[in-house]
């Protein structure tokens, strides 16, 4: 059953970045264990079984990777909702963004983000970063046994 379970919810508005991230994560999990959504609204719909995701299989992802700059509902708003929800707050959230702005970093941690990763410009570095991120949160890190 584990293999069917969604391991990563990747919230990323750039489909290229999403594809490149998927490539990096593919070592750790199968493509069907990763759900990619293009904006914050879809991310929340997914987590709350709404809209397009009202019929999705039960269970929460083991890791949420969240971009900040997105149309409609931005990453910080999604993060705020997740961390204010007793059920969802135990899921590790990693911010993966190109913003190195201090206020974004501070706000993310204040809202309860578990990690903050700035997308490296050079692909090789980007690839390594996302790969290691997957290794750490999906393999090394022990997830919370309840809630998620």
Partner 1 sequence: MGVSPREIAIARKLYRTVIGALLGLSLIYALAFMLLINYQWREYREAERAVSINYVTDGKVLDAAIGMADQHAVKDRDKARRNLIVLTGALIAGLMLAVLVFLAVRRAVAAMVRLQTVGVMADITDHKHIEAALKESEERFRQFSESINVGFWILDSNPRCVTYVNRAFTQMSGLEADEVYRSPVPRIDVVHEDDRQTVKLAFEEWLQGEPSSLLEIDYRIVRPDGEMRWIHDHGVKLQDENGQTFRILGISEDITDRKRTDEAIKAMSRALEQKAGELATVNRELEAFAYSVSHDLRAPLRHVDGYLSLLQKRVSPLLDETSQRYLATISKATERMASLIDDLLAFSRMGRTELNKTVVPLNRLIKDVIGELKTETENRHIDWIVKPLPDVFVDAALFRQVFFSLIENAVKYTRPRPQARIEIGCINDDGNEAIIFVSDNGVGFDMKYVDKLFGVFQRLHRAEEFEGTGIGLANVARIIQRHGGRVWAVGDKDKGATFYVAIPLEEKDK
Beta carbon nearer to partner 1, 46 or 116? 116
- Give the shortest CB-16-to-partner 1 separation in angstroms: 4
Give the SS3 label for residue 54. Answer: coil
Mark 101-130 with x for binding to partner 1 (rule: CB under 8 A) and - for no binding. Answer: -x----------------xxxxxx-xx---
Does 100 engage in binding with partner 1 (CB under 8 A)? yes
Judged by CB under 8 A, which of 99, 107, 114, 131 binds partner 1? 99
Query: Within positions 1 to 40, which residues make up the interface with partner 1, using CB under 8 A?
Result: 14, 16-17, 20, 23
Distance CA 96, CA 140 (A): 19
Question: In sequence order, what are the residues at sequence separation of 6 or more whose Cβ sits closer than 8 angstroms to the Cβ of residue 100?
Answer: 118
**Overall size of the chain counted in residues:** 148
State in angstroms the smallest separation of the CB of 79 from partner 1.
20
Rounded-to-integer distance, Cα 123 and Cα 39, Å: 23
At its nearest, how many Å lie between partner 1 and the CB of residue 74?
15
The neighbour count for residue 54, using CB atoms within 10 Å, is 9
């Amino acid at each position: 059953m584990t293999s069917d379970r969604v391991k990563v919810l990747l919230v990323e508005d750039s489909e290229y970045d999403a594809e490149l991230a998927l490539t990096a994560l593919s070592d750790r999990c199968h493509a069907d264990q990763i759900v990619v959504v293009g904006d914050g609204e879809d991310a929340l719909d997914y987590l709350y079984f709404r809209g397009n995701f009202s019929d999705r299989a039960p269970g929460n992802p083991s890791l949420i990777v969240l971009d900040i700059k997105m149309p409609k509902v931005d990453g910080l708003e999604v993060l705020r909702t997740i961390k204010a929800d007793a059920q969802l707050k135990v899921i590790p959230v990693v911010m993966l963004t190109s913003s190195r702005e201090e206020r974004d970093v501070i706000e993310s941690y204040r809202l309860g983000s578990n990690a903050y990763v700035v997308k490296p410009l050079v692909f090789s570095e980007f690839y390594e970063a996302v790969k290691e991120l997957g290794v750490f949160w999906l393999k090394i890190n022990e997830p919370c046994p309840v809630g998620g």
